[in-house]
Structure 1
């Protein structure tokens, strides 16, 4: 039996209500391999010029699933609980100007959003507000904002510790900027790491591997300009 996958294709064609089966390596105009296309939205339907990234959130109260889409002019929120009939709930506009790059991560039912737009900082959005949208699409406002960074490329969150790490800007030679988000509506900057230069993308984990010297330590794995760096960032000072 073929697997099913919801794909939001930011392209110029009509919105598809019913699923499009994968036949002969294509679901409609999209290449596929064992996955049926469930639905699509055009950029025009999202009132945007481009899109670059996505993330997801599952509401712990009822299991409903939502797609969080990074657009040039903000972040779109789409209810994908019924994958063949998704609902565009609305958009959180960019904090400053438009940008081709926006990144989103989640923690404790909040979305944390950064962008390469100048002076953008980090937007904080309460995702539980998506439960009560009665007349979509709507224009949302941010619930909090962190201005300890400007334009950055990416954001990483270690959910086990409640820390966010912006990378690719925000000082520290483009390395990680440490942000305590344990109280999501009151983010606090706690320094950063500049020893290895610009980080394009990263992962931060609480180590639980075979090396007993590092069990319980917070480890940063950074994809840098010409190397992968591994740094113990447990001590933020």
Structure 2
């Protein structure tokens, strides 16, 4: 597991997996104890000792309001369960700080607008000598799906599978990348596939 980036912006990280495992009551979910054991054995030992985590929190009611109150796709229904969101909030506040190499900065965003959140995060990063990537959006609206990714985006399942765009297309590992809420598409030449973060130097299989 290599870390060669100054800033990693993640919506689905090891903490996100642990939060979901802690909060979910889905019968097919991996038990939290098993997830935590895997994290302690395989992930925590290789995290940089000086890594600083910034966690953006939002209250359950504000979270639901920001997302329209109901899911756009049936498969997202569980993410609109207030009880699940409450348990995830509990995880990030009471358990996540003990699982980070350094105490995380937890920002309550419910009463902050986008600019205030970005300013707070940027100030924290600047103290460590790094800045936010320029291709990351900081506006209320989603970036547009790049023309290079429109057809494979829809063929892969569109928003129901990949989610909405969170970045514009940007240069990445000899090609182009566009990140979405739930995954990313990587394009080199005429070949576009879902990006596999476990194998960043090779293409993921199209059905992965």
Greater relative CO (CA pairs within 8 A, separation 6+): 2
The alignment's TM-score, normalised by the length of structure 1, stands at: 0.28
Q: Work out which of the two has the higher radius of gyration on C-alpha atoms and give 1 or 2.
A: 1
